[in-house]
Amino acid sequence: MTMINYGLKDRVAIITGANNPQGIGATTAYAFAREGAKVVLIYKKIERQFDDNKTDKNGADRYFKANAGNANVVENRLKEMNSDYLILESDITDENAVKEIYSKVLEKYGKVDVLVNNAADGDMDGLDTIEKITQKVIDDTFAVNVRGQVQRKQAGLMKNWKKLLFR
């Protein structure tokens, strides 16, 4: 059987929103690592109430529990795969935190090749109707889903341009 070369070997990929072991971020990290990429996982614990008795089934309680975690399950899987990885807990809505992420990645790997913007936020408390949505929900959602994405791209471009210009 012929394997497909996805061109990920030795590429450095930053993947946000990666602490949920069943989530898109973690699954992407496993796939990239399997192909030989160096994966950098960025996550933020999100504390929400959940019923521990209901976390064995699909649903909000299972999701809330997974997102309250610290990526240990994801890290253990990457270790089992003998992956080259870096895991950082950070807030991508904070411009200085984003710069720190890039500094740590460049210190360890010297480059960033791939950026997977998986982190997202939204109202999970039932306020997501146009009649009931609050300004805070709008601001928090925008901060992660838009501003955080743009800041990561800006920081990455600036670091990579500096690296290219001052060799």
pLDDT value at 28 more than 70:
yes
Instruction: Evaluate whether residue 5 is within a structural domain.
Output: no
Q: What is the pTM of this model?
A: 0.74
In a domain, 144, yes or no: yes
Count, in order, helices (H) and strands (E) of the chain. 6, 4
Structural domain contains residue 88? yes
* Segment 93-138, tens digit of pLDDT: 888 888 899 899 999 999 999 888 887 665 555 545 566 667 777 7
The single-letter code of the amino acid at 107 is E
Number of domains in the chain: 1
Q: Averaged over 10-35, what is the pLDDT?
A: 91
Task: Decide if 2 is inside a domain.
Answer: no
| Measured distance CA(13)–CA(88) in Å, rounded | 13
For the segment 137-164, what is each residue's pLDDT rounded down to a tens digit? 777 777 766 776 677 666 665 555 444 4
Range of the domain at 145: 12-165
97 CB contacts (<8 Å, ≥6 apart)? Answer: 90, 91
In terms of average pLDDT, the best of 19-23, 81-85, 130-134, 152-156 is: 81-85
* Burial grade of 32 (CB within 10 A; 0-12, 13-18, 19 or more): buried
Q: Determine contact, residues 81/29, Cβ cutoff 8 Å.
A: no
